[in-house]
Amino acid sequence: MRKTNVRTIWEKAHNSEPIVAITAYDYFTAKYVDEAGVDIVLIGDSLEMVVYGKETTHTATMEKMIYHTEAVASAVKNAMVIGDMPFMSYHGSIQKAVENAGRFIRAGAQAVKLEGGTKMSDTVRAITDAGIPVMGHIGMLPQWVHRIGGYITTGKDEKSARILVDDGKALENAGAFAVVLEKVSSDATKLITAQLDIPTIGIGSGIYCDGQILVVNDILGLFDKFAPPFAKKYTDLKTEIIGAVKQYTDDVRNKKFPEK
């Protein structure tokens, strides 16, 4: 049994201990971030962009997400593993949403994440009633990018901030154990976190959340197609990889590798 679960995440938040979450999409990356001591590993549908080079997350499928979830879950021993429900896997039929959430649990995840606030509360309630923990996601919604007109910051005025509070409350009342706030203004984030009893996990939403999440490729310098302004690059593995492969290439061409 993994050490981190819904209860320990809740306890961290209520003890003012910041929650650390990160994405991972393969066995070895998941193994290493788990050894680094993160609390949550999310198999994000962001894999479509950072692993497969797509322009949006819309092309993620259940089959692809389950495949990557199985790999990550095999590696993680301590952190909580959460599967990101892809576009159109929880829209429409609530029964379909519950069944797809169950597929993530069978693949080794301990919970699922889905986008949307009040409009998704009935779906969240049905999934949690089936015994599956749900992490909500409000603010800037990547799966809704065509409707909202881009990757914009939300909650910048009183009215939109109040809508986000209502969305968070609806998810909390539906049984969500935590909620991601993506690209929410700092003032709105502070208000939402104060109003909710469940933990808030921020991505590009400032300092007032109970925890933070980033895409692992961004912090490692492995994705330069689109660099979110809020992501901090902690190392530059792109340069390291290119340098190592160039050295290998030179050694082979100059007959320095393999050695006798």
**Spatial distance between the Cα atoms of 115 and 26, rounded to a whole number of angstroms:** 23
Q: Catalytic annotation on 182? A: yes
Phi-psi region of 183 (alpha: psi -120 to 50; beta: other; left: phi over 0): left
For residue 78, the tally of other CB atoms under 10 A from its CB is 13
Task: Give the DSSP letter string of 141-205.
Answer: -GGGHHHHTSS--B--SHHHHHHHHHHHHHHHHHT-SEEEEESB-HHHHHHHHHH-SS-EEEESS
- Give yes or no for a contact between 41 and 63, defined as CB atoms under 8 angstroms apart: no
User: Residue holding tokens 């949690």?
Assistant: 128
Q: Are the beta carbons of 177 and 6 closer than 8 angstroms?
A: yes
CA-wise closest residue to 62 among 96, 111, 35, 11 = 96
Query: What does DSSP assign to residue 85?
Result: P
**Token pair in block for residue 161:** 């901030």
Q: Which one of the listed residues 48, 182, 240, 259 is annotated catalytic?
A: 182
Tokens of 139: 């603010």
**Nearest CA-CA partner of 86 in 59, 110, 56:** 59
The catalytic site residues sit at: 182
